[in-house]
Structure 1
Amino acid sequence: MRRSANLILLTAGLAVTLAGCSTVQNARERLVRAPVRCVDQTVQIYFEPDAAELTSEGRAVIKAASEGAAGCEVRSVEVVGLTDATGAPQANLELSRRRAQSVTAALAASGLPAAEFRVAAVGDAGAVTADGRAAPLRRRADVILRLQPR
């Protein structure tokens, strides 16, 4: 009888110990796992002069933006292509359109689950300030991710 009581106590003790280990593991996972932040993001993808092909840096920014949206509901994605003021306005508009399309294709290929992609091209509009100076760093596409928690 005493042996049965000891066996029951030993079994109960092991069960409590193992349950405690599981609880510690679950608590550790909750602490280590970062919470998902589903807030709107804006990123800029820069291009070489007169180019619409993504650079390796541009691909890295797109990858990071897609990964940052993981776990969120993507309401919409807005992509706006821009150019500097060098060259003919119509050529700049076409280049900004190609830049926006290049970024949109890369975002879709990255698996970004957007409900809607909005693409715009503004060419060199706004590339010159009121006093006639060229605005720097306009060889880019701006990406606005509209996110919300699931």
Structure 2
Amino acid sequence: MKTNQLVMAVAVAAALAGCAGLGGRERLVKAPPRCVETAVQIYFQPGSHELTDEGRTVLAQAASETAGCEIERVVVMGLADAEGAPAANLELSKRRAQTVTAALAAVKLPAAEFRLAAAGEQGAVTAAGAEPLRRRVDVILQMRPPK
């Protein structure tokens, strides 16, 4: 038992000595980059433009991560899958983009230039015939550190 404790103590001491030679904690643990372009995706139920609880959470988190940053532009792209008529899918993707834009304002995203777009079902079916998940809005937050 004492041998195991001695071996453990030596191992811990060696590990600590090795860490000290690396230049300290700041070289091992780095804060994530702040105020860089960030993209989030907000998913919707089929045929719906209502924000889900998960979507609200994602938007609130994205907005909180912009604290202290200068927001240059917010790009909001509404998408839809290929179910239904193309005109209805385009309208649905527009409503989704509008819903997300309003939700971003509600979570107090700093003022920025907003660019809204809607693609409808365009690109929903690939050449191979696959239908990727497209019931979403893509949000790109373009930001930089404050001046």
TM-score (norm 2): 0.76
SS of structure 2 residue aligned to 1:61? helix
4+ long deviations beyond 3 Å: none
Structure 2 CA distance, aligned partners of 1:55 and 1:99?
11
1:145: which partner in 2?
A: 141
C-alpha contact 1:36 1:71 (8 A) present in aligned 2: no
| Mapped pair 1:62 → 2:59 | yes
Task: Give the superposition deviation at 1:109.
Answer: 1.2
Inter-partner Cα distance in structure 2 for 1:62 and 1:134: 26
Matches within 5 A, 1:97-136: 97-135=94-132
Code of the aligned partner of 2:77: V
Distance 1:66 1:133, change over 3 A: same
Q: CA deviation at 1:131?
A: 2.2
Q: Percent identity?
A: 64
User: Paired residues, what number?
Assistant: 116
Alignment deviations for residues 39-87 of structure 1 (CA, whole Å, 9 cap, x no partner): 0000000000000010000000000000000110000100000001111
Task: Give the distance between the partners of 1:50 and 1:35, measured in 2 at CA.
Answer: 37
Pairing partner for 1:53 from 50, 53, 56: 50
The residue that corresponds to 1:4 in the other structure is none
What is the CA RMSD across the aligned residues, in angstroms?
1.3
Q: Which runs of 5+ in 2 are unaligned?
A: 1-30
Q: TM-score, with normalisation over the residues of structure 1?
A: 0.74
Partner-residue secondary structure (3-state), 2:89: helix
Q: Which has the higher helix share?
A: 1
Is 2:50 the partner of 1:83?
no
Quote the Cα distance in structure 1 between the aligned partners of 2:145 and 2:58: 22
Q: AA paired with 1:127? A: A
SS of residue matched to 2:105: helix
